[in-house]
Amino acid sequence: MLALDPVMRALGGTWVAWGHGDADPAVVDENDRVAVPPEEESYTLRRLWLTEEEVENYYLGYSNQALWPLCHNVLEHVRFRDRFWNAYRKVNTKFAHGVVDEMEERGGLVWFQDYHLALAPREVRRARSDLTLGHFWHIPWPPWETFRVCPQKTEILEGLLSNDLLGFHLESFVTNFLNTCVRELDAFVDWAKKAVVHQGHMTHVRDLPISIDVERFERMASSPETEERIDAVREEHDLDGQRVAIGVDRLDYSKGILERLEALRILFREHPELVGELTFVQIAVPSRTEIPAYAHLEEKVDRRIEELNAALSTDGWKPVVYIKDPMPQDELVAFYRMADVAVVSSVQDGMNLVVKEFIASQDEEDPGAVCLSEFAGASDEINHSIPVNPFYTEGFAEDLRRALDQPLERRRDSMEKMKATLREHSIHAWMADFLSAAGEARRDAERHARR
Ligand code: ADQ
């Protein structure tokens, strides 16, 4: 998880993570450890090895065909299979053992990341009741009416309630989670304190929206190398003299890429003056391609883009430039800087870091405009974008037009406000907030246990 690298660099400590490919086993020592990053060793990676079958059933199975679609409210993609669940339990046990092993005799904090590890806290708690356990859930928590379809709902909830602190991006996810605990477990919820007591243990549940390393993006964006890259990118993709709108996503059904392409089709139909003037750059890195829902999405996105380009291209111009290769961040920043409009159209998204990266990369004199889905968690914080509803295609198309027409003064003013919000809350502030909330949660859990 690239987003967390700055956190680990600042904290030091050990990151227990699954290793794969040929390179990972080659670089670890006899205890499966390696100091990283190579150029400036700041923390330790402890690798765990998963079999192919575990990857298929734990990662591609329960994590990404049960929990991911469930939490994003897309029940049509949910697959509950016994072999998925068995592998999820087994791998969570493996992680719990890895963590306990790494902690040795030490006290301190164990910080679990995400939906792949819902069961591990319970096992770590059983082995080490003295540790502080915190967990951050990077995706939405759905309403109880959705979560209740999960056959393993009790185990998932009890795993998460073994933490002292459980963090989500948004207040609404916290509310959904607390409500789920009441409805499913009949647990005691202190709504004022946002805490759950279950089987004698108290867990604080907090909204702690994640951010990015804002300064790093600002630095990269204003570097002379980025200026050079912008020229190179314009030339490579025939963008000279073009207005550019951009979308950057993992190819995931939660990101609303098809909805965006449909809005683009309508935009060109309703505003033919944009033909030959506007290029949409879609950077979309294929993801989880072994899962049928993802393979189908990729095929559909490929086809829609081909159709749009076949229908509208003129000599030397095409409406969509489609880039599917993963890109290093400094190159991505050149695209962010070059674009006149960023389009984030998630149909459901825990946060969305792309919009934050785009904002941090803008030049204050001549910034781009931001179209941001109302259903991306980021829209709770970022109040000066153009809000879009990806489910209402004609309205979405007009929002794109508005973004392209936004006068410079308005863009400057909105960007200044969005940047100010972002600077107040970078990834370092998120980390500090989480750590302090974890300490407070632990003290409260101990007080409660003594009562
Ligand atoms: P994701 O859904 O994976 O994560 P998102 O917030 O959309 O994440 O960020 C994607 C990241 O991948 C960004 O840093 C972006 O720069 C990078 N990226 C995207 N396309 C790329 C490409 N082609 N090449 C290189 N990099 C690319 C989950 C949740 C989100 C939540 C994050 C963090 O689903 O809602 O914001 O975790 O908590």
- The pLDDT tens digits for 240-262 are 999 999 999 999 999 999 999 99
pLDDT at res. 328: 94
Kindly state the helix (H) or strand (E) to which residue 168 belongs, with its residue range. Answer: strand 165-168
pLDDT at 290 exceeding the cut of 70: yes
Task: Report whether pLDDT(7) > 90.
Answer: no
Q: What is the whole-number distance in angstroms between the Cα of residue 34 and the centre of ligand 1?
A: 25
138 pocket-lining for ligand 1 (C-beta < 6 Å): yes
Quick one: tokens of 35?
Answer: 């100091």
Tokens of 369: 């405009």
Q: What is the mean pLDDT of residues 221-242?
A: 97
R_g over Cα of the chain: 23
Q: Kindly indicate the confidence band of residue 435, based on its pLDDT and cuts at 50, 70 and 90.
A: very high
| Sign (positive or negative) of CA dihedral 354, 360, 363, 366 | positive
Choose among 234, 328, 314: nearest CA to 285.
Answer: 328
What's the pLDDT at 2? 67
pLDDT of residue 1: 66
Q: Is 356 in the pocket of ligand 1 (CB under 6 A)?
A: no
Residue 272 alpha carbon to ligand 1 centre in Å: 33
Q: What is the dihedral of CA 26, 29, 35, 37, to 10 degrees?
A: 0
Q: How far apart are CA 304 and CA 258, in angstroms?
A: 8
> In angstroms, what CA-CA distances link 435 with 9, 115, 166, 285, 423?
15, 19, 12, 32, 19
Q: Which of 114, 173, 250, 434 to mutate to test the pocket of ligand 1 (most atoms within 8 A of CB)?
A: 250
Contact yes or no for 323/346 (Cβ under 8 A)? no
Q: What is the mean pLDDT of residues 181-188?
A: 97
Cα separation, 78 vs 68, in Å, equals: 8
CA pair distance 254, 99, nearest whole angstrom: 31
Which strand ranges, in their side-by-side order, compose the sheet holding 195-198? Answer: 109-113, 132-136, 165-168, 201-207, 195-198, 188-190
CA atoms of 210 and 434, how far apart (whole Å): 10
Mean pLDDT, range 181-191, rounded to an integer: 97
Dist. CA 250 → ligand 1 center (Å): 6
**22-40 pLDDT tens trace:** 888 999 999 999 999 988 8
Q: Which two tokens stand for residue 240?
A: 């000279």
Strand partners, 188: 197
pLDDT at position 11 is 84
Which is the closest atom of ligand 1 to the Cα of 376?
Answer: 35
pLDDT bracket for residue 68 (50, 70, 90): very high
Q: What are phi and psi of 269, to 5 degrees?
A: -70, -45
pLDDT band at 76; cut points 50, 70, 90: very high
> From the CA of 433, how far away is ligand 1's center (Å)?
22
pLDDT at 324 over 90: yes
Q: Are 89 and 119 in contact (CB under 8 A)?
A: yes
Q: Provide the pLDDT confidence category of residue 5 given band limits of 50, 70 and 90.
A: confident
pLDDT band, very low/low/confident/very high, at 188 (cuts 50, 70, 90): very high
E strand or H helix at 357, and its extent? helix 353-361
Spatial contact of 280 and 322, defined as CB atoms under 8 Å apart: no
What is d(CA 108, CA 278) in angstroms, rounded to the nearest whole number? 54
Q: Summarize the confidence of residues 146-163 as an average pLDDT.
A: 98
Closest Cα to atom 28 of ligand 1: 138
Quote the CA–CA distance of 251 and 414 in Å, as a whole number.
29
Rounded CA gap, 84 and 92, in Å?
12
Instruction: Supply 268's token pair.
Output: 């060109």
Specify the residue for token string 């829902």: 293
Q: Smallest Cα–Cα separation from 120: which of 141, 108, 107, 134?
A: 134
The tokens of 417 are what?
A: 């406000």
